[in-house]
């Protein structure tokens, strides 16, 4: 998939939302792999105002109304907490859904596409890679804090917006099926990657086993804590808001932490075409451990969870590699790609990070012990 320039449907749904002024312009925004994201500028009596318009990927998120119900509940809950603490300044600290004129969480275009609108969080940005250790510590603190804020979310269990999202065994079995089907005729090209994935099959069951035995527990988690899902202040660099709430659902805190290791303690981009550039960075890993355990979530993690913080990084990196490889074998139907070998390059670079984490296991364990 590749992101289109501004599609005509966007212009059609703009009228469904009560925006603060007339439509001026729209442009593609951000570098997410899943949704189509646009910055929309309006001009009203009080000056220009921006919004985020997102066409939610309906092929991937099968039940968008349920997803938006999750988003509404989570944003309302977090907003109430930050407002109690920070007053009006809280407006930037959490995503704010702009409902349609008739009060719905999303609009539908003529092709059945789902559109939602958020207030644009101004004066902040996202990065695709951490540039310093302080950023890693801050991001881990923000995701930890966010998770702690959701510990007392009232009401029913959240909807599973993608069933078995981090069920690594299911991800492995999907890879096995994609290999057998070989629908894009690429299996012959990825023998080394398949061998790598199959040699580590047992890892897929480790956290699931701990969960089944009651040694770790399910909580409300973000599930996609990559570094470009936290907004940073343009001036101070401090974390402003956790965003991309589509996969908030019951999960394991270790999935959230592992995804941070993958994206914030890595030495290069997830799709660096040279896997030789990819290693785990121990100073950033230490900053993540300290930032996460030092946040409000630190108090709720048990000894087993703490002991598996390093393994979680390996597992999430492995899982992402398996998912990229599956998509490559299936002919690139899931992630946006920029060139035909993009998913293969992502796979190779993820597996290089898995190998590096394996080599650094003793050092990572020592860092966790020193920080606990
Ligand atoms: P995806 O699921 O495709 O990753 P995201 O929700 O993460 O979509 O949005 C993609 C990018 O758009 C983010 O990384 C961020 O840079 C930007 N973005 C998203 N929401 C906002 C917002 N409310 N204000 C400003 N920028 C945003
Ligand atoms: C996707 O949406 P985005 O770009 O934040 C994916 C994550 C992967 C990530 C890999 C819903 O995240 O699970 O870890 O790409 N999100 C979904 O970069 O599949
Ligand atoms: Mg994102």
- List beta partners, residue 27: 39
What is the distance in A from the centroid of ligand 2 to the CA of 223? 9
pLDDT per residue as tens digits for the range 312-330: 999 999 999 999 999 999 9
* Ligand 2, atom 1, residue with closest C-alpha: 33
What is the distance in A from the centroid of ligand 1 to the CA of 170? 28
Which secondary structure element, helix H or strand E, spans residue 349, and what is its range?
Answer: helix 342-359
356 lines ligand 1 (CB under 6 A): no
Give the Cα separation of 284 and 265 in Å (integer). Answer: 5
Q: What sign does the dihedral 353-206-309-138 (CA atoms) show?
A: positive
CB 310 within 8 A of CB 365: yes
Residue 3's pLDDT is 52
> Cα torsion for 275, 278, 279, 280, to the nearest 10°?
-130
Q: What is the 3-class SS of 101-150, one letter each residue? A: CCCCCCEECCCCCEEEEEECCCCEECCCCCCCHHHHHHHHHHHHHHHHHC
Work out the average pLDDT over 149-174: 97
pLDDT value at 190 more than 60: yes
pLDDT value at 1 more than 60: no
What is the β-pairing status of strands 239-242 and 219-221?
A: unpaired
All domains of the chain in start order, with CATH: 8-122 (3.30.200.20), 133-371 (3.90.1200.10)
Closest atom of ligand 1 relative to the 119 alpha carbon:
23
The residue among 368, 363, 254 whose CA lies nearest residue 317 is 254
pLDDT value at 152 more than 70: yes
Nearest ligand to the C-alpha atom of residue 56: 1
Nearest ligand to the C-alpha atom of residue 60: 2
53 lines ligand 1 (CB under 6 A): no
Give the Cα separation of 313 and 335 in Å (integer). Answer: 21
The residue among 106, 103, 108 whose CA lies nearest residue 116 is 106
Residue 31's pLDDT is 84
Give the Cα separation of 224 and 208 in Å (integer). Answer: 18
Work out the average pLDDT over 283-294: 98
pLDDT value at 280 more than 90: yes
pTM, rounded to two decimals: 0.95
- List beta partners, residue 51: 40, 119
Quote the percentage of the chain above a pLDDT of 90: 95
pLDDT per residue as tens digits for the range 98-131: 999 999 999 999 999 999 999 999 999 999 999 9
Residue 4's pLDDT is 61
């Amino acid at each position: 998939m590749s992101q289109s320039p501004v599609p005509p449907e966007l212009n059609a749904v703009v009228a469904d939302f009560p925006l603060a002024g007339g439509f001026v312009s729209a442009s593609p925004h951000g570098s997410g792999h899943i949704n189509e994201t646009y910055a929309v500028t309006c001009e009203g009596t009080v000056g220009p105002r921006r919004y985020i318009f997102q066409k939610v990927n309906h092929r991937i998120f099968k039940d968008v109304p349920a997803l938006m119900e999750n988003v509404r509940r989570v944003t309302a809950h977090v907003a109430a907490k930050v407002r109690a603490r920070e007053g009006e300044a809280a407006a930037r600290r959490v995503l704010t859904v702009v409902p349609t004129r008739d009060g719905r969480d999303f609009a539908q275009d003529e092709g059945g596409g789902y559109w939602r609108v958020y207030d644009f969080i101004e004066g902040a940005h996202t990065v695709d890679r951490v540039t310093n250790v302080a950023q890693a510590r801050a991001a881990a603190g923000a995701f930890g804090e966010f998770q702690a804020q959701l510990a007392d979310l009232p009401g029913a269990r959240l909807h599973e917006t993608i069933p078995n999202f981090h069920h690594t065994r299911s991800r492995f079995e999907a890879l096995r099926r994609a290999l057998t089907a070989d629908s894009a005729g690429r299996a012959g090209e990825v023998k080394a990657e398949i061998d790598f994935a199959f040699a580590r099959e047992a890892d897929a069951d480790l956290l699931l086993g701990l969960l089944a035995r009651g040694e770790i527990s399910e909580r409300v988690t973000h599930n996609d804590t990559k570094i470009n899902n936290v907004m940073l202040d343009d001036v101070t660099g401090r974390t402003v808001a956790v965003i991309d709430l589509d996969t908030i659902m019951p999960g394991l805190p270790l999935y959230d932490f592992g995804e941070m290791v993958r994206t914030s303690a890595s030495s290069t981009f997830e799709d660096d075409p040279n896997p030789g550039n990819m290693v785990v960075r121990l100073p950033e890993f230490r900053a993540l451990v300290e930032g996460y355990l030092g946040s409000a979530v630190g108090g709720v993690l048990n000894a087993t969870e703490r002991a598996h913080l390093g393994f979680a990084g390996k597992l999430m990196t492995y899982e992402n590699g398996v998912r990229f490889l599956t998509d490559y074998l299936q002919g690139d139907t899931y992630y946006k790609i920029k060139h035909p070998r993009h998913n293969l390059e992502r796979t190779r670079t993820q597996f290089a990070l898995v190998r590096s984490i394996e080599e650094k296991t003793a050092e990572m364990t020592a860092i966790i012990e020193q920080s606990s």
